[in-house]
């Protein structure tokens, strides 16, 4: 095909695409990074035009984890990254009164039980963390199983009792753990909410505790299980990563939407852009999701029928909506606004919010994670004003009623809950914006509206992610690789991008 040539083309300048491109460029490869939107970031980019003078994150408003390898190699502080807050506490909003949690420290009569449970889970998460950094092994007899064996031996070092307990909690649901270990309904709510945040699952769904462990396994700046918000919000993290990528030699092209991945026989030869332009490369890495990459940009005709079937059946159900409010004043939630707030009274409320979604219905009492970025960084709103960003659980992707009607019903249910928690907040609203899972799918290209480009479930993790045939980032098309949240280990920490770059470098030695 005609067109300009690069050694490697990376599609998608979200955190994983940026991390992947940077590592490859640091190793001397000529890398072109193509981003469809006008700014990098993917799920970390800003919401355009919430209201004059108001800036809100589009999807991600906090960072739970950032891969320490990428963080060190990209030296983001040198490229302008500053933190508005780290170690952000969590406050549960409840009719029983607010309760604040700082890691293993919790208020209330259950403080000791929470500390014991949290430290045990943190220990298990630490034992699982090395698995996040490794490329999943091939399902064949070769040396790729060596690192897996080493990490499994480290698990055995936990001791017989703790090892058995780890195996138990990997398979148990969050609801049962909350009821067995805790008596305070607010702590039960916090555990069950965090174990299902962003998932298409309720606390009683099998294996949900592993999602909480996955979050606890991450770190930011060497701090385990730490919540952080960059100065300028999540778009500032993406901007710093983009500057680091360009400093490493990456050519970043924004507004360059890929229409097709071009193949020549069974190998990749480049991409065609939506504007008709063509770029050639012997290697293409896509960070926009396995389904979008292979089913849309490559096309089923170029793939094995069995692979196409597995991809189409891969679970990618989004169950969360995103609410943005421009407010004229500070809302009164009865607690310090410098916190991540969970609006859920107990574990039953979390489960009850999920049940209707299974049948395409809007919950009457959704639960939510609330952040006021403007409380940490006043630049998000005009003087005296605030921005409220909330992840609302749960929301149907395929509602029984029309999509516009479902969005309106979800917005009303969310505002009713907020009004009960912060009386008078409705009168402060300058503008409200709600993204349902189908809006997230359309605007961000995330299959099913799922943040992870595919659900993070036991059967879709490690060497099963996204499906077994694609678990090592390579595809059956020579030269075409996958990265991003839809690949191991998921999320937007940069770990998947860093892992993919390592696998590419190893394969091309």
Question: Average pLDDT by consecutive 10-residue portion of the chain (509 residues)?
Answer: 80 98 98 97 91 95 90 94 94 96 94 96 85 74 57 64 80 94 98 96 94 80 74 96 98 98 94 97 97 97 94 95 98 98 98 97 98 97 98 97 97 99 98 98 94 90 90 96 96 94 91
Domains in the chain: how many in total?
2
The reported pLDDT for the residue numbered 80 is 95
Is 481 within the bounds of a domain? yes
Q: How far apart are CA 138 and CA 305, in angstroms?
A: 21
Question: 264 with 201, same domain?
Answer: no
Question: 205 with 298, same domain?
Answer: no
**Contact of 17 with 27, CB cutoff 8 Å:** no
Distance set, CA 73 to CA 19, 70, 238 (Å): 9, 5, 15
Question: 216 with 129, same domain?
Answer: yes
* Helices and strands counted in the chain (H then E): 17, 21
Question: 126 with 217, same domain?
Answer: yes
| Dihedral angle, C-alpha 97, 98, 101, 107, nearest 10 ° | -40
Tokens linked to 68: 């320490």
Is 87 within the bounds of a domain? no
The reported pLDDT for the residue numbered 461 is 86
| Dihedral angle, C-alpha 330, 331, 337, 342, nearest 10 ° | -150
The reported pLDDT for the residue numbered 221 is 53
The reported pLDDT for the residue numbered 2 is 58
Residue the block writes with tokens 């949900």 = 208
Q: What's the CATH code of the domain at 272?
A: 3.50.50.60
Give 269-293 as a DSSP string.
EEEEETTS-EEEEEEEEE-S-HHII
**Contact of 257 with 263, CB cutoff 8 Å:** no
Is 348 within the bounds of a domain? no
Is 37 within the bounds of a domain? yes
**Is residue 419 classed as helix, strand or coil in its secondary structure?**
helix
**Contact of 177 with 191, CB cutoff 8 Å:** yes
Question: 204 with 305, same domain?
Answer: no
pTM of the model: 0.93
**Contact of 455 with 199, CB cutoff 8 Å:** yes
Is 132 within the bounds of a domain? yes
Question: 68 with 18, same domain?
Answer: yes
* Domain boundary pick from 166, 190, 221: 221
Give 11-68 as a DSSP string.
E--SHHHHHHHHHHHHTT--EEEEESSSSS-GGGSEEEEEETTEEEESS--SBS---H
Question: 141 with 177, same domain?
Answer: yes
Which residues make beta-bridge pairs with 284? Answer: 9, 480
Is 306 within the bounds of a domain? yes
Question: 217 with 110, same domain?
Answer: yes
Provide the residue range defining the domain that includes 296. Answer: 4-46+62-81+234-315+448-507
The reported pLDDT for the residue numbered 163 is 77
- Chain length of the chain: 509
Question: 149 with 213, same domain?
Answer: yes
Question: 207 with 116, same domain?
Answer: yes
Is 246 within the bounds of a domain? yes
Q: How far apart are CA 14 and CA 277, in angstroms?
A: 22
* Domain boundary pick from 187, 221, 255: 221
Question: 132 with 212, same domain?
Answer: yes
The reported pLDDT for the residue numbered 220 is 56
Is 229 within the bounds of a domain? no
The reported pLDDT for the residue numbered 92 is 98
The reported pLDDT for the residue numbered 160 is 73
* Domain boundary pick from 194, 221, 248: 221
Class of residue 224 by CB neighbours under 10 A (exposed 0-12, middle 13-18, buried 19+): middle
Question: 216 with 240, same domain?
Answer: no
Q: What tens digit of pLDDT does each residue of 203-252 get?
A: 999 999 988 988 888 765 556 657 999 999 999 999 999 999 999 999 99
């Amino acid at each position: 095909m005609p067109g300009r040539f690069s050694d490697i083309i990376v599609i998608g300048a979200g955190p994983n695409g940026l991390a992947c491109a940077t590592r490859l460029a640091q190793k001397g490869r000529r890398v072109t990074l193509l981003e469809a939107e006008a700014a990098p970031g993917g799920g970390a980019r800003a919401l355009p035009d919430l209201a004059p003078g108001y800036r809100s994150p589009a999807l991600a408003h906090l960072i739970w984890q950032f891969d320490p390898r990428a963080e060190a190699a990209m030296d983001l502080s040198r490229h302008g990254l500053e933190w508005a807050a780290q170690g952000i506490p969590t406050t549960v909003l409840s009719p029983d009164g607010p309760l604040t949690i700082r890691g293993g420290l919790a208020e209330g009569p259950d403080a000791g039980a929470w500390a014991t449970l949290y430290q045990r889970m943190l220990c298990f998460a630490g034992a699982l963390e090395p698995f996040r950094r490794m490329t999943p092994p091939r399902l064949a007899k070769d040396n790729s199983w060596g690192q897996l064996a080493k990490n499994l031996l480290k698990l055995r070092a936990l001791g017989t009792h703790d090892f058995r307990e780890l195996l138990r909690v990997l398979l148990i649901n969050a609801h049962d753990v909350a009821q067995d270990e805790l008596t305070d309904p607010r702590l039960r709510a916090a555990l069950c909410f965090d174990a299902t945040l962003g998932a298409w699952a309720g606390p009683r769904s099998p294996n949900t505790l592993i999602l909480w462990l996955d979050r606890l396994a991450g770190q930011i700046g060497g701090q385990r299980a730490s919540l952080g918000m960059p100065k300028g919000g999540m778009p500032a993290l993406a901007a710093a990563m983009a500057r680091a990528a360009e400093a490493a030699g990456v050519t970043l092209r924004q507004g360059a939407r890929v229409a097709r991945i071009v193949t020549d026989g069974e190998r990749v030869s480049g991409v065609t852009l939506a504007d008709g332009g063509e770029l050639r490369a012997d290697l293409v890495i896509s960070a926009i999701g396995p389904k979008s990459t292979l089913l849309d940009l490559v096309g089923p005709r170029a793939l094995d029928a069995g692979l196409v079937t597995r991809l189409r059946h891969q679970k990618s159900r989004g169950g969360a909506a995103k609410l943005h409010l421009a407010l004229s004043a500070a809302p009164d939630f009865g607690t310090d606004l410098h916190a991540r707030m969970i609006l859920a009274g107990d574990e039953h409320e979390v489960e009850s919010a999920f049940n209707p979604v299974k049948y395409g219905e809007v919950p009457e009492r959704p639960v939510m994670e609330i952040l006021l970025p403007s409380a940490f960084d006043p630049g998000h709103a005009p003087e005296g004003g605030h921005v409220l960003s909330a992840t609302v659980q749960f929301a149907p992707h395929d509602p029984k009623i029309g999509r516009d009607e479902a969005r309106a019903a979800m917005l009303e249910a969310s505002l009713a809950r907020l009004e009960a928690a912060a009386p008078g907040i409705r009168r402060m609203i300058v503008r409200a914006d709600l993204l349902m899972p189908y809006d997230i799918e359309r605007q961000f290209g995330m299959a099913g509206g799922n943040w992870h480009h595919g659900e993070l479930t036991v059967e879709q993790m490690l060497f099963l992610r996204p499906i077994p045939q694609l678990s090592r980032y390579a595809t059956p098309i020579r030269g075409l690789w996958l990265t991003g949240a839809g690949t191991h280990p998921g999320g937007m920490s940069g770990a998947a991008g860093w892992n993919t770059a390592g696998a590419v470098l190893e394969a091309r030695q």
